[in-house]
Amino acid sequence: MNDVTSSYRCGYVALVGRPNVGKSTLLNYLLGQKLSITSDKPQTTRHTILGIKTVEDAQFVFIDTPGVHKSSKRAMNRYMNRSATRILPDVNVAVFVVEALQWTDEDDLVLEKLREAKVPTILAVNKIDKIKDKERLLPFLQEIGAKLSFASVVPISAIKQSYLDELESAIKNLLPESEAFFPEDQLTDRSSRFLASEIIREKLMRRLGQELPYDLTVEIEQFKEEGNLYRIHAVIWVERDNQKAIVIGKGGRLLKDVGTDARTDMEKMFDHKVFLELWVKVKSGWSDDERALQSLGYRDEF
């Protein structure tokens, strides 16, 4: 480690952007395995999630963040916006993820937070695989690339894994020289209990309609290890009685399917057999109650 090129680098890298631009998908592909839950619905990510990638000469401590959005009607919305932006002054690098050929007021909102934080920022223009006329891309890159003094601008497709090596190289160049913060085999600082609740919520978001997923959350009431078996009891909290019936489904079918899908993913992630029991309960107004949010694990972190 006598010169910069041979020195080990390590630092915190925030993935930020408005909802549904592909931050969680990007994190999973950068890590080479699934950690953050994903769905086609905005605001799937509600918490900051640490994903650790260790290579020969660097350790990337990625932080997946909730999408920054304009709505602040409910306590849940305010919590997600706080989670997404409060970390920016404390990270070494920010990766601002935007969607190719799409720029909204919420992108402007993220841009303003990045200006305030004064953190070295890479612009990652995602979903380029969806652009049929690639000649339209260059003017867009030039236009948004001029909005901030970006360290670099990298067009990518997270889902197709296009140009992710170039993005990773650009990030590494901005990391400070430092020893690794975490053991090389560690993937996240999140507990198995937390990851289990997120997996269940992902399956619900993917199977339910547009509105209901935002009125539900998952709480793990029991997580026991019995030899090679994890025994997990979880409660799905909704806000109204009619939502409970929707989540259970006709003859309990939807809830059973969610449980089957979630158990399959848990067994892959935990490398254990899983016995999973799900209940659906009503807690009126939980998403707009700061105390209820804290009791359900929505606490300001990092």
Residue 289 lies in a domain: yes
Nearest to 99 by CA among 75, 67, 65, 72: 67
In a shared domain, residues 73 and 164: yes
> Residue 266 belongs to what domain range?
192-295
| Domain endpoint, select from 148, 174, 200 | 174
Residue 28 lies in a domain: yes
In a shared domain, residues 237 and 268: yes
In a shared domain, residues 8 and 59: yes
- Look up the CATH number of the domain holding residue 138: 3.40.50.300
In a shared domain, residues 219 and 104: no
Q: Between 253-270 and 192-207, two packed helices, what is the crossing angle to 10 degrees?
A: 140
Residue 245 lies in a domain: yes
Nearest to 129 by CA among 121, 137, 120, 138: 137
In a shared domain, residues 33 and 168: yes
What is the residue-level pLDDT of the chain in tens, covering all 302 positions?
334 446 999 999 999 999 999 999 999 999 999 999 998 888 888 889 999 999 999 999 999 999 888 866 788 888 888 888 889 999 999 999 999 999 999 999 999 999 999 999 999 999 999 998 989 999 999 999 999 999 999 999 999 999 999 999 999 999 999 999 999 999 999 999 999 999 999 999 999 977 777 789 999 999 999 999 999 999 999 999 999 999 999 999 999 999 999 999 999 999 999 999 999 999 999 988 888 888 888 877 65
Overall domain count for the chain: 2
In a shared domain, residues 10 and 130: yes
State pTM to two decimals: 0.91
